[in-house]
């Protein structure tokens, strides 16, 4: 098999890259380890920066999102009983779109089908070869058959546990990581959302987040110790803990019901450098992970794809390799800013097990400053709705 760009991983980053490149007349093959059903069963992100929304529009996959998604012009932060609304619209003239990652991925699969894309599922033994030459290739197994895909460039969009990052020699890779001493227990429930906008709730009992998917589908999270298992959390226990962390003024609004999904995700910040090595470019979770507090994971994947698609299009359409040469550095600079924001928002809102009385005072002062300073709110709004490219 032969293509111009081999894409490892058929999650949102890989599919979006494939769609943008195909729209520009560049051939792609996507290799995905899982089945399509499996990829579409993963419940993940829910909030998109407007830059991500615009990129999906450019890719021609935004019709359903504009019909079924919910633009939000603000969000709430609370600290015990204090509630603060961050007004994106007035502070930075921007907004976000609430539309599930699962739906984005579904829209991308449908668009790829319509474009006649080659997306191979259930592939295994993916190995990237000759990355430092102008004719790299990928070997893999599909339906018991050993196959070889020749290409000009490889995009590693295979998530945190993929093979792409590991194909860069350890002597070249630098990795920076912070593992947080807690996770998020998330549930989906067919109940009306607590509020019209998201609530990031900090309290003496820990953090909670009230998010949503649609008018009758809520997505709620609570901070839990890393040692907890999903089986430890009955629905009743979840609702008690969640309610307890909300400002008392809004507790009465909460509608509870059975959970239809429940999972725990550990929180970490991770970035590896370089994001590019020879003919391999990494995109999305393959190169970096952020804690979900700032809602940046999917948005960073989209941001990388934006830089890489433009660079590859310049390379193939205008024979201009300069943007491709600087892809790693360009993408990484924006990644680091979003990592800083996600880390800061995590520190602002969570209870860490080892917090001293001083740490607690400073965290409370951070919230107080945010509630009193329009400049601090502008900074939060600017970062949350998405920094420029």
Mind telling me the catalytic residues? 72, 200, 292, 296, 384
Nearest in space to 276 (alpha carbons), one of 143, 146, 156: 156
139 or 361, CB closer to ligand RFL? 139
Q: Identify which of 189, 205, 197 has the alpha carbon closest to the alpha carbon of residue 246.
A: 205
Least spacing, CB of residue 384 vs ligand PHB, in Å: 9
Mark residues 96-135: x for contact with ligand RFL by CB under 6 A, - for none.
Answer: -----x---------------------x--x---------
Under rule CB under 6 A, how many of the chain's residues touch ligand RFL? 37
DSSP for 160-190, written as a single string:
TTSSTGGGS-TTT-EEEEEEEEEEEEEEEES
Pick the closer one to ligand PHB by CB: 108 or 210.
210
| Partner touching 34 among ligand PHB, ligand RFL, none, CB below 5 to 8 Å by kind | ligand RFL
Query: Assign residue 84 a region: left if phi > 0, alpha if psi is -120 to 50, beta otherwise?
Result: beta
Contact 61, 182 (CB under 8 A): no
Q: Among ligand PHB, ligand RFL, none, what does residue 329 contact (CB within 5–8 Å per kind)? A: none
Which one of the spans 11-19, 44-52, 188-196, 254-262 is the region binding ligand PHB (CB under 6 A)?
44-52
**Exposure b/e, 150-184, CB count within 10 A at least 16 = b:** ebbbbbbbbbeebbbbebbeeeeeeeeeeebebbb
The binder of 74, among ligand PHB, ligand RFL, none, by C-beta within 5 to 8 A per type, is none
SS3 (DSSP) at 39: helix
Q: What number of CA atoms fall less than 13 Å from residue 160's CA on the CB side?
A: 12
User: Binding ligand RFL by CB under 6 A: which of 5, 11, 20, 370?
Assistant: 11
Q: How far apart are CA 68 and CA 102, in angstroms?
A: 13
Choices 3-11, 238-246, 248-256, 314-322 (CB under 6 A): range interacting with ligand RFL: 3-11
Between 170 and 357, whose beta carbon lies closer to ligand RFL? 170
Residue 262 touches ligand RFL, criterion: CB under 6 A: no
User: Does 69 interact with ligand PHB (rule: CB under 6 A)?
Assistant: no
β partners of residue 177: 270
Q: Which residue stretch of 28-36, 75-83, 270-278, 314-322 sits at the interface with ligand RFL (rule: CB under 6 A)?
A: 28-36
Output 9 or 292, the one with its CB closest to ligand PHB: 292
Phi, psi of 225 (to 5 degrees): -60, 150
Q: ∠38-158-111 over CA atoms, to 5°?
A: 60
Give the closest residue to 167 by CA, choosing from 178, 154, 179, 177. 154
219 near ligand PHB (CB under 6 A): yes
Work out which of 6, 10, 19, 151 binds ligand RFL, going by CB under 6 A.
Answer: 10
Helix axes 50-58, 297-318, angle to 10 degrees: 40
Does 74 help bind ligand RFL (rule: CB under 6 A)?
Answer: no
Q: Is 87 helix (H, G, I), strand (E, B) or coil?
A: strand
Selection from 160, 95, 11, 108 nearest residue 295 by Cα? 95
Per CB under 6 A, 156 contacts ligand RFL: no
293 touches which of ligand RFL, ligand PHB, none (CB within 5 to 8 A by kind)? ligand PHB
Query: What is the pattern of x (binds ligand PHB, CB under 6 A) and - over residues 175-214?
Result: -----------------------x----------x-x---
**For residues 46 and 212, what is the distance between their CA atoms, to the nearest angstrom?**
8
CB of 291 vs ligand PHB, minimal distance in Å? 9
Each residue 162-181 as x (binds ligand RFL by CB under 6 A) or -, in order, gives xx------------------
In the complex, least distance from residue 47 CB atom to ligand PHB, rounded to whole angstroms? 5
Question: Which of 17, 295, 332, 370 lies at the binding interface for ligand PHB (CB under 6 A)?
Answer: 295
In this structure, the strands spanning 217-225 and 174-189 are antiparallel
Tell me: does residue 259 bind ligand PHB (CB under 6 A).
no
The shares of helix, strand and coil residues in the chain, as percent rounded to the nearest 5, are 40, 30, 30
Strands (E), the chain: 5-8, 28-31, 47-49, 70-72, 74-79, 82-87, 96-98, 118-120, 124-129, 137-142, 145-150, 153-156, 174-189, 199-202, 208-214, 217-225, 259-273, 276-277, 280-282, 288-289
Binding site for ligand PHB (CB under 6 A): 45-47, 198, 209, 211, 219, 292-293, 295
Residues that bind ligand RFL (CB under 6 A): 8-14, 31-34, 39, 44-47, 101, 123, 126, 157-159, 161-163, 184, 186, 265, 284-285, 292, 295-299, 301
């Amino acid at each position: 098999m032969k293509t111009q760009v081999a894409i490892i991983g058929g999650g949102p980053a890989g599919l979006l890259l494939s769609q943008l490149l195909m729209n520009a007349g560049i051939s792609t093959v996507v290799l995905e380890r899982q089945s399509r059903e499996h990829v579409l069963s993963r419940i993940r992100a829910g909030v998109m920066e407007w830059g991500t929304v615009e990129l999906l529009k450019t890719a021609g996959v935004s019709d359903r999102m504009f019909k079924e998604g919910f633009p939000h012009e603000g969000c709430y932060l609370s600290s015990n009983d204090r509630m603060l609304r961050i007004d994106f619209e007035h502070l930075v003239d921007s907004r976000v779109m609430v539309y599930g990652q699962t739906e984005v991925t579904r829209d991308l699969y449908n668009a790829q089908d319509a474009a006649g894309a080659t997306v191979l599922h259930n592939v295994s033994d993916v190995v990237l070869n000759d990355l430092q030459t102008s004719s790299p290739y990928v070997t893999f197994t599909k339906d018991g058959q050993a196959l070889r895909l020749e290409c000009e460039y490889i995009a590693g969009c295979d998530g945190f546990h993929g093979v792409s990052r590991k194909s860069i020699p350890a002597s070249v890779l630098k990795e920076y990581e912070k593992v947080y001493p807690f996770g998020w227990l998330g549930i989906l429930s067919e109940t009306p959302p607590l509020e019209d906008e998201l609530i990031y709730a900090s309290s003496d009992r820990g953090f909670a987040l009230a998010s949503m998917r649609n008018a009758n589908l809520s997505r709620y999270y609570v901070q839990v110790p890393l040692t907890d298992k999903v089986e430890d959390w009955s629905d009743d226990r979840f609702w008690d803990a969640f309610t307890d962390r909300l400002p008392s003024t809004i507790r009465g609004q909460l509608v509870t019901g059975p959970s239809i999904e429940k999972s725990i995700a550990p929180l970490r910040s991770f970035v590896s450098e370089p994001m590019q090595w020879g003919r391999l470019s990494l995109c999305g979770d393959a190169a970096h992970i952020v804690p979900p507090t700032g809602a940046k994971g999917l948005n960073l994947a989209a941001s990388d794809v934006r830089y890489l698609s433009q660079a590859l299009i310049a390379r193939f359409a205008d024979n201009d390799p300069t943007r491709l040469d600087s892809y790693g550095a360009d993408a990484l600079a924006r990644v680091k800013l979003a990592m800083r924001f996600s880390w800061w928002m995590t520190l602002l809102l969570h209870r860490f097990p080892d917090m001293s009385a001083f740490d607690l005072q400073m965290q409370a002062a951070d919230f107080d400053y945010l509630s009193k300073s329009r400049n601090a709110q502008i900074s939060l709004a600017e970062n949350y709705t998405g920094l420029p490219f």
